[in-house]
Amino acid sequence: MTDSDTRASPAADVVLSVTELCKHYPGILAVDRVSFEVRRREVVGLLGPNGAGKTTTINMILGVLSPSTGSVRIAGIDLARQRARALAQANFSAVYATLPGNLTVAQNLNFFGLVYGVPGLRARVAAVLEEFDLQHLRNTKCGVLSSGEQTRVALAKAVLNHPRLLLLDEPTASLDPAAARTIRARIRGLAAHSECGILWTSHNMYEVEEVCDRVLFLSRGRILLEGDPRTLPRAHGVPTLEELFIRLAREPLADALERAG
């Protein structure tokens, strides 16, 4: 997807709209006027070093934190005004957000399906068990699954409610290369064949290039660059996305902003 294609997409395709988002703490501006959109069938990478503001931004999108200023709209619904309705259009998966280990795979999916109010829950659980190759693990407790299996269960849980917006925070961080490749392929397939858009954070630049249609570079709470991860490095005089990431992370903010402009 090119930048011109993205700009030409109709408003109905926008599943996430973040406008002038700020988060202040005493003496700290953690997120500084961040604005971006995610559209259906699009995977957008939110990149940046530790402390850049990625997790704070995601937590504001999920309603865990309230922004100091700015707005979040999910599938056109204002999060501040209609929180429950907006969050019903979203879901989330992260390697650190593990599911209850004392419950089986099927029990976890049924529990979260009830939380999300998923209609036809039995049939929906059966469908995601099949989609993520989990049928043979349905009666296994999540606490004894491998990292790859736990990631597949977390993704199955994250798509239970047919979300318009799916947020994935380092979803492959603990996986071996083969398992990570499988998960990336599943997520690409999900983006291509469903109505959802995906916001993805990762420190793995190879993964970002493979999966993401567009990336946003966040540093010190501000978006410095945006574009296609396969062409952005050359446009800024470096051969790889990883080198661009390192340069932006190390430069003083004023220099990074000058180069980005």
Name all domains of the chain by residue range, CATH numbers in brackets.
Answer: 3-89+164-260 (3.40.50.300), 99-162 (no CATH)
**Of 7-11, 16-20, 115-119, 194-198, minimum mean pLDDT range:** 7-11
Return the sign of the alpha-carbon dihedral for residues 55, 60, 61, 67. Answer: negative
Total Cβ atoms within 10 A of residue 212: 26
Residue position matching structure tokens 């939380």: 115
pLDDT of residue 175: 81
**pLDDT exceeds 60 at position 255:** no
pLDDT of residue 254: 43
| Whether the predicted model's global pTM rises above the 0.85 cut | yes
pLDDT band at 252 (very low <50, low <70, confident <90, very high): low
pLDDT of residue 121: 97
Residue position matching structure tokens 């954070």: 201
**What is residue 46's DSSP assignment?**
E
User: How many residues are listed for the chain in this entry?
Assistant: 261
Q: Report the half-sphere exposure of 69 (CA within 13 A, side-chain side).
A: 7
β-partners of residue 34 are 21
Question: What angle do helix axes 147-159 and 105-116 make, rounded to 10 degrees?
Answer: 30
**Residue closest to 248 by CA, chosen among 22, 30, 52:** 52
